[in-house]
Amino acid sequence: MIIVLVNCMWTCAVMLWFNLKLNHLKNPRKVRKFVIGNICYAVLITTFTIICRDRSVNASIIANMGVYILSMLIFSHRNLFCSFIEILYTFLIQVLANILFVIVYIGILKKSMAEFNQSVVANLMFSLLVLLLYILLNNNLGKAIFKLRDTVWIKHKLSMTVATAYILVIAIWCLVAANIMAYELTNPFWLIVSLVLVLIGVFLGITIFEQRNKYIALKQDSSTDELTGTMTRKAGMDYLSRMLVAAHKKGRSFNVCYLDINDLKVVNDNLGHQYGDQMICHIISTIRNNLKSSTPIIRMGGDEFLIAFQDQSHAEIKEIMDRILVMIEVKKPLTLIDYPLSFSYGIAGDTEKSKTTNPMDLITVADQKMYQYKIEYKLNGSQA
Protein backbone atom coordinates (compact mmCIF):
# COMPACT_ATOMS: atom_id res chain seq x y z
CA MET A 1 0.00 0.00 0.00
CA ILE A 2 2.87 2.36 0.82
CA ILE A 3 4.42 1.71 -2.61
CA VAL A 4 1.10 2.50 -4.31
CA LEU A 5 0.68 5.66 -2.22
CA VAL A 6 4.19 6.94 -2.95
CA ASN A 7 3.90 6.09 -6.66
CA CYS A 8 0.59 7.95 -7.01
CA MET A 9 1.81 11.03 -5.16
CA TRP A 10 5.06 11.13 -7.14
CA THR A 11 3.22 10.85 -10.47
CA CYS A 12 0.80 13.62 -9.45
CA ALA A 13 3.68 15.88 -8.34
CA VAL A 14 5.55 15.41 -11.63
CA MET A 15 2.33 16.00 -13.58
CA LEU A 16 1.64 19.21 -11.60
CA TRP A 17 5.14 20.60 -12.17
CA PHE A 18 5.27 20.05 -15.92
CA ASN A 19 1.62 21.05 -16.59
CA LEU A 20 2.26 24.22 -14.63
CA LYS A 21 5.21 25.03 -16.89
CA LEU A 22 3.28 24.25 -20.09
CA ASN A 23 0.33 26.46 -19.08
CA HIS A 24 2.64 29.47 -18.55
CA LEU A 25 0.73 30.62 -15.47
CA LYS A 26 2.34 33.73 -14.00
CA ASN A 27 -0.46 35.18 -11.91
CA PRO A 28 0.17 34.02 -8.27
CA ARG A 29 -3.57 33.62 -7.66
CA LYS A 30 -4.02 31.40 -10.73
CA VAL A 31 -0.93 29.38 -9.82
CA ARG A 32 -2.27 28.85 -6.29
CA LYS A 33 -5.66 27.68 -7.62
CA PHE A 34 -3.97 25.38 -10.14
CA VAL A 35 -1.86 23.81 -7.37
CA ILE A 36 -4.89 23.38 -5.08
CA GLY A 37 -6.83 21.66 -7.89
CA ASN A 38 -3.95 19.28 -8.54
CA ILE A 39 -3.54 18.49 -4.83
CA CYS A 40 -7.24 17.63 -4.59
CA TYR A 41 -6.87 15.43 -7.66
CA ALA A 42 -3.85 13.69 -6.11
CA VAL A 43 -5.68 13.00 -2.84
CA LEU A 44 -8.85 11.72 -4.53
CA ILE A 45 -7.13 9.55 -7.13
CA THR A 46 -4.77 8.08 -4.53
CA THR A 47 -7.76 7.20 -2.33
CA PHE A 48 -9.48 5.64 -5.32
CA THR A 49 -6.36 3.64 -6.22
CA ILE A 50 -5.93 2.26 -2.68
CA ILE A 51 -9.60 1.36 -2.13
CA CYS A 52 -10.18 -0.10 -5.59
CA ARG A 53 -6.98 -2.03 -6.14
CA ASP A 54 -8.81 -4.68 -8.17
CA ARG A 55 -10.32 -2.08 -10.52
CA SER A 56 -10.54 -2.63 -14.27
CA VAL A 57 -8.41 -0.65 -16.73
CA ASN A 58 -11.36 1.32 -18.11
CA ALA A 59 -12.33 2.26 -14.55
CA SER A 60 -8.84 3.63 -13.91
CA ILE A 61 -8.76 5.70 -17.09
CA ILE A 62 -12.22 7.21 -16.73
CA ALA A 63 -11.81 7.77 -12.98
CA ASN A 64 -8.52 9.61 -13.57
CA MET A 65 -10.09 11.72 -16.29
CA GLY A 66 -13.23 12.55 -14.31
CA VAL A 67 -11.48 13.24 -11.02
CA TYR A 68 -8.89 15.53 -12.62
CA ILE A 69 -11.37 17.54 -14.69
CA LEU A 70 -13.83 17.95 -11.82
CA SER A 71 -11.06 18.83 -9.33
CA MET A 72 -9.73 21.51 -11.67
CA LEU A 73 -13.25 22.76 -12.42
CA ILE A 74 -14.29 23.06 -8.78
CA PHE A 75 -11.06 24.17 -7.09
CA SER A 76 -9.18 25.91 -9.90
CA HIS A 77 -12.10 27.15 -12.03
CA ARG A 78 -10.42 25.65 -15.08
CA ASN A 79 -12.35 25.09 -18.28
CA LEU A 80 -13.42 21.52 -19.11
CA PHE A 81 -11.63 21.50 -22.47
CA CYS A 82 -8.29 22.80 -21.15
CA SER A 83 -8.29 20.28 -18.29
CA PHE A 84 -9.29 17.50 -20.67
CA ILE A 85 -6.25 18.15 -22.90
CA GLU A 86 -3.98 18.30 -19.83
CA ILE A 87 -5.11 14.88 -18.57
CA LEU A 88 -4.89 13.40 -22.10
CA TYR A 89 -1.29 14.59 -22.35
CA THR A 90 -0.59 12.95 -19.00
CA PHE A 91 -2.17 9.71 -20.27
CA LEU A 92 0.09 9.88 -23.32
CA ILE A 93 3.18 10.08 -21.09
CA GLN A 94 1.90 7.24 -18.89
CA VAL A 95 1.12 5.02 -21.88
CA LEU A 96 4.59 5.56 -23.35
CA ALA A 97 6.17 4.86 -19.95
CA ASN A 98 4.14 1.66 -19.57
CA ILE A 99 5.05 0.45 -23.06
CA LEU A 100 8.76 1.04 -22.49
CA PHE A 101 8.66 -0.48 -19.02
CA VAL A 102 6.80 -3.60 -20.17
CA ILE A 103 9.29 -4.11 -23.00
CA VAL A 104 12.24 -3.91 -20.60
CA TYR A 105 10.84 -5.33 -17.34
CA ILE A 106 8.62 -8.10 -18.66
CA GLY A 107 9.98 -8.68 -22.16
CA ILE A 108 13.75 -8.50 -21.52
CA LEU A 109 14.13 -9.13 -17.78
CA LYS A 110 11.32 -11.75 -17.75
CA LYS A 111 9.75 -10.35 -14.57
CA SER A 112 6.05 -10.46 -13.63
CA MET A 113 3.64 -7.71 -12.54
CA ALA A 114 3.35 -9.35 -9.12
CA GLU A 115 7.10 -8.87 -8.67
CA PHE A 116 6.77 -5.27 -9.86
CA ASN A 117 4.05 -4.48 -7.30
CA GLN A 118 6.28 -5.80 -4.49
CA SER A 119 9.52 -4.20 -5.66
CA VAL A 120 10.41 -0.73 -4.41
CA VAL A 121 13.30 -0.50 -6.89
CA ALA A 122 11.07 -1.39 -9.86
CA ASN A 123 8.49 1.20 -8.85
CA LEU A 124 11.24 3.77 -8.37
CA MET A 125 12.61 3.02 -11.84
CA PHE A 126 9.15 3.40 -13.36
CA SER A 127 8.68 6.77 -11.63
CA LEU A 128 12.05 7.96 -12.91
CA LEU A 129 11.07 6.79 -16.41
CA VAL A 130 7.90 8.92 -16.23
CA LEU A 131 9.99 11.91 -15.13
CA LEU A 132 12.47 11.33 -17.96
CA LEU A 133 9.70 11.19 -20.57
CA TYR A 134 8.23 14.45 -19.27
CA ILE A 135 11.64 16.10 -19.54
CA LEU A 136 12.26 14.79 -23.06
CA LEU A 137 8.81 15.52 -24.49
CA ASN A 138 7.76 18.75 -22.77
CA ASN A 139 9.91 21.11 -24.81
CA ASN A 140 8.64 19.85 -28.16
CA LEU A 141 5.57 17.61 -28.14
CA GLY A 142 4.13 19.12 -24.95
CA LYS A 143 4.48 22.70 -26.14
CA ALA A 144 2.99 21.82 -29.54
CA ILE A 145 -0.06 20.13 -27.96
CA PHE A 146 -0.72 22.94 -25.50
CA LYS A 147 -0.21 25.61 -28.17
CA LEU A 148 -2.72 23.85 -30.41
CA ARG A 149 -5.11 23.57 -27.45
CA ASP A 150 -4.89 27.31 -26.75
CA THR A 151 -5.40 28.18 -30.42
CA VAL A 152 -8.50 25.99 -30.70
CA TRP A 153 -9.79 27.28 -27.35
CA ILE A 154 -9.54 30.94 -28.42
CA LYS A 155 -11.47 30.32 -31.65
CA HIS A 156 -14.05 27.79 -30.44
CA LYS A 157 -14.54 28.27 -26.69
CA LEU A 158 -18.18 27.29 -26.39
CA SER A 159 -18.02 24.50 -28.97
CA MET A 160 -15.02 22.86 -27.28
CA THR A 161 -16.62 23.14 -23.83
CA VAL A 162 -19.81 21.46 -25.05
CA ALA A 163 -17.86 18.76 -26.92
CA THR A 164 -15.78 17.98 -23.82
CA ALA A 165 -18.91 17.79 -21.70
CA TYR A 166 -20.38 15.30 -24.18
CA ILE A 167 -17.25 13.15 -23.92
CA LEU A 168 -17.41 13.25 -20.12
CA VAL A 169 -21.05 12.19 -20.05
CA ILE A 170 -20.37 9.29 -22.43
CA ALA A 171 -17.33 8.25 -20.37
CA ILE A 172 -19.32 8.36 -17.14
CA TRP A 173 -22.12 6.21 -18.52
CA CYS A 174 -19.57 3.74 -19.94
CA LEU A 175 -17.95 3.52 -16.52
CA VAL A 176 -21.27 2.91 -14.80
CA ALA A 177 -22.35 0.30 -17.35
CA ALA A 178 -19.01 -1.51 -17.35
CA ASN A 179 -18.56 -1.68 -13.59
CA ILE A 180 -21.95 -1.80 -11.90
CA MET A 181 -22.95 -4.69 -14.13
CA ALA A 182 -19.66 -6.51 -13.43
CA TYR A 183 -17.77 -7.47 -10.29
CA GLU A 184 -17.89 -4.03 -8.63
CA LEU A 185 -21.59 -4.61 -7.92
CA THR A 186 -20.71 -6.11 -4.54
CA ASN A 187 -18.30 -3.32 -3.62
CA PRO A 188 -20.09 -0.67 -1.47
CA PHE A 189 -17.56 1.96 -2.50
CA TRP A 190 -18.33 1.41 -6.17
CA LEU A 191 -22.06 1.59 -5.54
CA ILE A 192 -21.65 5.00 -3.90
CA VAL A 193 -19.24 6.25 -6.56
CA SER A 194 -21.53 5.08 -9.35
CA LEU A 195 -24.50 6.90 -7.85
CA VAL A 196 -22.44 10.08 -7.60
CA LEU A 197 -21.29 9.63 -11.20
CA VAL A 198 -24.90 9.21 -12.34
CA LEU A 199 -25.80 12.54 -10.68
CA ILE A 200 -22.77 14.21 -12.27
CA GLY A 201 -23.75 12.75 -15.65
CA VAL A 202 -27.29 14.13 -15.34
CA PHE A 203 -25.92 17.55 -14.32
CA LEU A 204 -23.48 17.63 -17.24
CA GLY A 205 -26.18 16.43 -19.64
CA ILE A 206 -28.48 19.29 -18.63
CA THR A 207 -25.57 21.73 -18.88
CA ILE A 208 -24.74 20.50 -22.38
CA PHE A 209 -28.24 21.13 -23.70
CA GLU A 210 -28.42 24.54 -22.01
CA GLN A 211 -25.06 25.57 -23.48
CA ARG A 212 -26.02 24.22 -26.89
CA ASN A 213 -29.29 26.16 -26.90
CA LYS A 214 -27.48 29.34 -25.82
CA TYR A 215 -24.90 28.80 -28.54
CA ILE A 216 -27.57 28.31 -31.22
CA ALA A 217 -29.51 31.37 -30.02
CA LEU A 218 -26.35 33.49 -29.85
CA LYS A 219 -25.26 32.41 -33.33
CA GLN A 220 -28.70 33.15 -34.73
CA ASP A 221 -28.87 36.56 -33.05
CA SER A 222 -25.46 37.53 -34.40
CA SER A 223 -26.32 36.53 -37.97
CA THR A 224 -29.93 37.80 -38.22
CA ASP A 225 -31.10 41.39 -38.41
CA GLU A 226 -33.57 42.00 -35.59
CA LEU A 227 -35.96 44.24 -37.55
CA THR A 228 -36.20 42.53 -40.93
CA GLY A 229 -35.09 38.96 -40.25
CA THR A 230 -32.51 39.25 -43.04
CA MET A 231 -28.84 38.33 -42.66
CA THR A 232 -26.51 40.82 -41.03
CA ARG A 233 -23.70 42.36 -43.06
CA LYS A 234 -20.92 40.26 -41.47
CA ALA A 235 -22.79 36.96 -41.71
CA GLY A 236 -23.98 37.84 -45.21
CA MET A 237 -20.52 38.65 -46.53
CA ASP A 238 -19.17 35.34 -45.22
CA TYR A 239 -22.09 33.53 -46.84
CA LEU A 240 -21.57 35.38 -50.15
CA SER A 241 -17.90 34.40 -50.24
CA ARG A 242 -18.84 30.73 -49.88
CA MET A 243 -21.61 31.04 -52.50
CA LEU A 244 -19.23 32.66 -54.97
CA VAL A 245 -16.60 29.93 -54.57
CA ALA A 246 -19.25 27.21 -54.90
CA ALA A 247 -20.69 28.87 -58.02
CA HIS A 248 -17.25 28.90 -59.65
CA LYS A 249 -16.65 25.23 -58.89
CA LYS A 250 -20.03 24.15 -60.25
CA GLY A 251 -20.00 26.53 -63.21
CA ARG A 252 -23.18 28.29 -62.10
CA SER A 253 -24.08 31.91 -62.79
CA PHE A 254 -23.94 34.30 -59.84
CA ASN A 255 -25.53 37.76 -59.63
CA VAL A 256 -26.10 40.29 -56.88
CA CYS A 257 -28.77 42.96 -56.67
CA TYR A 258 -27.97 45.97 -54.50
CA LEU A 259 -31.01 48.01 -53.47
CA ASP A 260 -31.67 51.20 -51.55
CA ILE A 261 -35.14 52.11 -50.25
CA ASN A 262 -36.41 55.40 -51.67
CA ASP A 263 -37.81 58.24 -49.55
CA LEU A 264 -37.23 56.56 -46.18
CA LYS A 265 -36.00 59.86 -44.71
CA VAL A 266 -39.23 61.58 -45.80
CA VAL A 267 -41.34 59.01 -43.92
CA ASN A 268 -39.08 59.17 -40.85
CA ASP A 269 -39.22 62.97 -40.75
CA ASN A 270 -42.96 63.29 -41.33
CA LEU A 271 -44.37 60.27 -39.50
CA GLY A 272 -41.58 59.05 -37.21
CA HIS A 273 -39.12 56.17 -37.21
CA GLN A 274 -41.82 53.69 -36.23
CA TYR A 275 -43.44 54.17 -39.65
CA GLY A 276 -40.03 54.17 -41.29
CA ASP A 277 -39.43 50.73 -39.80
CA GLN A 278 -42.88 49.66 -41.03
CA MET A 279 -41.91 50.82 -44.51
CA ILE A 280 -38.68 48.81 -44.45
CA CYS A 281 -40.44 45.69 -43.15
CA HIS A 282 -43.20 45.93 -45.78
CA ILE A 283 -40.71 46.24 -48.64
CA ILE A 284 -38.47 43.40 -47.41
CA SER A 285 -41.46 41.18 -46.69
CA THR A 286 -42.76 41.72 -50.23
CA ILE A 287 -39.33 40.98 -51.69
CA ARG A 288 -39.02 37.78 -49.63
CA ASN A 289 -42.49 36.59 -50.68
CA ASN A 290 -41.56 36.93 -54.35
CA LEU A 291 -38.21 35.14 -54.19
CA LYS A 292 -37.16 31.54 -53.62
CA SER A 293 -36.91 30.64 -49.95
CA SER A 294 -33.23 29.80 -50.45
CA THR A 295 -32.36 33.24 -51.89
CA PRO A 296 -30.33 35.16 -49.29
CA ILE A 297 -31.23 38.77 -48.41
CA ILE A 298 -28.59 40.76 -46.54
CA ARG A 299 -29.02 44.06 -44.73
CA MET A 300 -25.91 46.02 -45.62
CA GLY A 301 -26.82 48.93 -43.37
CA GLY A 302 -29.76 51.31 -42.78
CA ASP A 303 -31.99 51.18 -45.86
CA GLU A 304 -29.56 49.29 -48.09
CA PHE A 305 -29.96 45.58 -48.85
CA LEU A 306 -28.30 42.97 -51.04
CA ILE A 307 -29.84 39.94 -52.73
CA ALA A 308 -27.76 37.09 -54.20
CA PHE A 309 -29.10 35.13 -57.17
CA GLN A 310 -27.85 31.86 -58.61
CA ASP A 311 -28.75 30.37 -62.01
CA GLN A 312 -30.76 33.45 -63.02
CA SER A 313 -29.83 35.86 -65.80
CA HIS A 314 -29.62 39.65 -65.56
CA ALA A 315 -32.88 39.97 -67.53
CA GLU A 316 -34.71 37.50 -65.28
CA ILE A 317 -33.58 39.33 -62.15
CA LYS A 318 -34.65 42.69 -63.58
CA GLU A 319 -38.08 41.27 -64.39
CA ILE A 320 -38.41 39.94 -60.82
CA MET A 321 -37.36 43.25 -59.21
CA ASP A 322 -39.72 45.30 -61.43
CA ARG A 323 -42.59 42.98 -60.53
CA ILE A 324 -41.76 43.38 -56.83
CA LEU A 325 -41.82 47.17 -57.18
CA VAL A 326 -45.40 46.95 -58.48
CA MET A 327 -46.44 44.59 -55.67
CA ILE A 328 -44.94 46.90 -53.02
CA GLU A 329 -47.02 49.84 -54.18
CA VAL A 330 -50.22 47.84 -54.67
CA LYS A 331 -50.14 46.18 -51.23
CA LYS A 332 -48.72 49.02 -49.14
CA PRO A 333 -50.13 49.57 -45.61
CA LEU A 334 -52.91 52.13 -45.09
CA THR A 335 -50.69 54.10 -42.70
CA LEU A 336 -48.32 54.78 -45.61
CA ILE A 337 -50.98 55.30 -48.29
CA ASP A 338 -49.92 58.91 -48.93
CA TYR A 339 -46.29 58.02 -49.57
CA PRO A 340 -44.81 56.25 -52.59
CA LEU A 341 -43.01 53.03 -51.62
CA SER A 342 -40.20 51.85 -53.84
CA PHE A 343 -36.48 51.16 -54.05
CA SER A 344 -33.63 51.80 -56.43
CA TYR A 345 -31.55 48.82 -57.48
CA GLY A 346 -28.51 47.78 -59.46
CA ILE A 347 -27.50 44.33 -60.72
CA ALA A 348 -23.99 42.96 -61.22
CA GLY A 349 -23.04 39.48 -62.42
CA ASP A 350 -20.03 37.21 -62.33
CA THR A 351 -19.40 35.98 -65.87
CA GLU A 352 -17.13 33.24 -67.18
CA LYS A 353 -14.77 35.86 -68.64
CA SER A 354 -14.46 37.91 -65.46
CA LYS A 355 -14.60 35.64 -62.45
CA THR A 356 -13.95 37.14 -59.03
CA THR A 357 -13.53 35.56 -55.61
CA ASN A 358 -14.26 38.80 -53.74
CA PRO A 359 -17.99 39.62 -53.33
CA MET A 360 -17.11 43.31 -52.86
CA ASP A 361 -16.10 43.49 -56.54
CA LEU A 362 -19.66 42.65 -57.55
CA ILE A 363 -21.22 44.77 -54.81
CA THR A 364 -19.25 47.85 -55.95
CA VAL A 365 -20.51 47.48 -59.53
CA ALA A 366 -24.09 46.85 -58.36
CA ASP A 367 -23.91 49.86 -56.02
CA GLN A 368 -22.80 52.12 -58.89
CA LYS A 369 -25.70 50.93 -61.05
CA MET A 370 -28.09 51.43 -58.14
CA TYR A 371 -26.81 55.00 -57.76
CA GLN A 372 -27.57 55.71 -61.44
CA TYR A 373 -31.07 54.29 -60.93
CA LYS A 374 -31.48 56.55 -57.89
CA ILE A 375 -30.52 59.63 -59.89
CA GLU A 376 -33.07 58.79 -62.56
CA TYR A 377 -35.71 58.20 -59.88
CA LYS A 378 -35.13 61.63 -58.34
CA LEU A 379 -35.17 63.34 -61.72
CA ASN A 380 -38.56 61.76 -62.42
CA GLY A 381 -40.19 63.58 -59.51
CA SER A 382 -39.34 61.91 -56.17
CA GLN A 383 -40.28 63.66 -52.96
CA ALA A 384 -36.64 63.56 -51.84
Q: Distance between CA atoms of 18 and 89, rounded to whole angstroms?
A: 11
Give the pLDDT score at 293: 84
Q: Quick: pLDDT tens for 73-108.
A: 777 777 777 888 888 888 888 788 878 878 887 778
Helix (H, G, I), strand (E, B) or coil at 305: strand
Q: Does an H or E element contain 297, and which?
A: strand 297-301
**Residue 11, class by beta-carbon neighbours within 10 Å (0-12 exposed, 13-18 middle, 19+ buried)?**
buried
- Is there a contact between 197 and 176 (Cβ–Cβ < 8 Å)? yes
Report the largest interatomic distance among the alpha carbons of the chain, rounded to a whole angstrom. 100
Give the pLDDT score at 382: 46
- Is there a contact between 86 and 69 (Cβ–Cβ < 8 Å)? no
Give the pLDDT score at 198: 58
From 20, 158, 163, 170, select the one nearest 89 (Cα to Cα).
Answer: 20
Give the pLDDT score at 183: 47
From 230, 222, 225, 347, select the one nearest 288 (Cα to Cα).
Answer: 230
Give the pLDDT score at 97: 81
From 133, 123, 135, select the one nearest 10 (Cα to Cα).
Answer: 123
pTM for this entry: 0.47
Give the pLDDT score at 384: 41
Give the pLDDT score at 321: 94
Give the pLDDT score at 199: 61
Give the pLDDT score at 223: 77
Mean pLDDT split into 10-residue runs, the chain, 384 residues: 65 75 78 83 73 60 71 76 82 82 80 75 79 82 86 76 71 62 53 60 62 62 80 87 83 89 92 93 93 89 91 90 93 89 90 66 91 88 49
Those residues whose C-beta lies under 8 Å from the C-beta of residue 198, and which sit 6 or more positions away, are 172, 176
Q: Distance between CA atoms of 237 and 220, rounded to whole angstroms?
A: 15
